[in-house]
Amino acid sequence: MRNKKKIAIIGLGYVGLPLAVEFGKKYRTVGFDINNDRVNSLKDGFDYTLEISKHSLESVLINKDEIKNNISSGLFLSYYVDDIKNANIFIVTVPTPIDLNNRPDLTPLKKASEMIGKILKKGDIVIYESTVYPGVTEEFCMPILENISGLKYNIDFYLGYSPERINPGDKERTITNILKVTSGSTPEIAKEIDSLYQSIIITGTYLAKNIKVAEAAKVIENSQRDINIAFVNELAKIFNLLKIDTQDVLEAAATKWNFLPFKPGLVGGHCIGVDPYYLAQKAQEFGYQSEIILSGRRLNDSMGHYVANELIKLMVKAGKKIKNSKILVLGITFKENCPDVRNTKVIDVVSQLKDFGAKVKIYDPWASKKEVSREYKLNTTNVVPNSLFDGIILTVSHNEFLNLDLDSLKNGNAPVYDVKGVLGSKADGRL
């Protein structure tokens, strides 16, 4: 047990920042990120993810003089590696994306491990929170740490894995209110890691038997949800052919006590749209070709093109010329009331509409125009467009859209398609 915990959080995104703030309330904590602009904006009290308020952030921040004086608690933010070299507990919260071929991209994890390896000391603990397939922590990250540091695993340094369960935009199920799965590379270290998280997690922790179990538990959480949504997406396609309202069917079925209330839609985001590929990749390495997991992912990946085609059908019925038509897309983030645009499947909708020759305008009051431009090379607006459109498609159910005067945006009998099923009679069609 470390007598004096000095914690370094690697990565200050949706996962790392809330974690750093909570640990900073009790321990001497340094939040590190390679993005200079991100660190500087956080020092000014602004979190573009909107997960942490200015007040909450400023109440825990300390300056360089205070961190040098070995203050007992507080959060110092930095993009200099030297500022984390005195930590004895490193927590890695970097992203684990997929590449263009839907294969796991462990590059951010590799770079973070290499960086830590250069400053790793005897007795240190490295905890990974990034979502991975079973075995990554001990079979991929550990050798990197050993090779660069020259230290021996479970003799000189130790590992842990505690999967993140952050739900971006959720102000009720925040980090301290979500039960935390923990694990460690030895029984003693596992208990120490569990105790560390217990000190900030109100709802408690669950100590998994080993690191691989904790890794597997995380990756199946989102895979299970992905498969369930794929099922109702397929139902929506079937019921559309049968001229039956999917929402009506789901409401009727939900009257049974054990019916799972999943809804159809676009399945994006950094977790659900990515994690199944990590598990499928690991299974393939052992000679097993996933059937259910990948079929569900393929179906969900197809939904962007499907809903775009449904809007086009409505426009054709309304007598609208498709080429050079003006279409308004309401929402670009991957979920409602949240600025997160990572792996948003609205991109597929926009791409398909453009393939038809339409001119697409994207209105999203939550999304950062700069981030959307950087990630997807698309222009967006944060204000209601002053124009008329030949077709409108609601892809994200931001609160701002629920009472939006759609008639003032319609060019004549322009149809409205509702992906989220929240517009009621305002929509001419819905998923």
In sequence order, which ranges of 150-286 are alpha helices (DSSP H)? 187-198, 211-241, 246-253, 275-285
Give the residue among 303, 313, 295 at the shortest CA–CA distance from 263. 303
Distance between CA atoms of 393 and 310, rounded to whole angstroms?
10
d(CA 216, CA 134): 5
Which backbone phi and psi does 223 adopt, to 5 degrees? -65, -40
Which structure tokens are listed for 41? 């904006």
For residue 127, the one-letter residue type is: I
Q: Specify whether 271 is catalytic.
A: yes
pLDDT of residue 2: 64
Beta bridge partners of 32: 10, 78
Question: Mean pLDDT of successive 10-residue segments in the chain (431 residues)?
Answer: 85 95 96 96 93 93 81 92 96 92 92 98 97 95 98 98 85 88 98 97 97 95 93 96 94 95 87 85 90 93 96 98 97 94 94 97 96 95 96 97 95 96 92 90
Predicted pLDDT at 100? 82
CA atoms of 234 and 228, how far apart (whole Å): 10
- How confident is the model at residue 166, as a pLDDT? 81
The whole-number pLDDT of residue 391 equals: 97
Query: Which is nearest to 267 in space by CA: 239, 240, 307?
Result: 307
Exactly one of 271, 392, 393, 423 is catalytic; name it. 271
Q: Tokens representing 90? A: 């490193």
* The pLDDT value given to residue 328: 98
Please give the pLDDT value at position 86: 94
Number of residues that this document lists for the chain:
431
CA nearest 282: which of 141, 136, 182? 136
CB-CB contact of 113 with 147 (8 Å): no
Report how far residue 386's alpha carbon sits from residue 405's, in angstroms, rounded to the nearest whole number.
Answer: 12
Whole-model pTM: value is 0.91
Which helix H or strand E contains 306, and what residues bound it?
Answer: helix 303-317
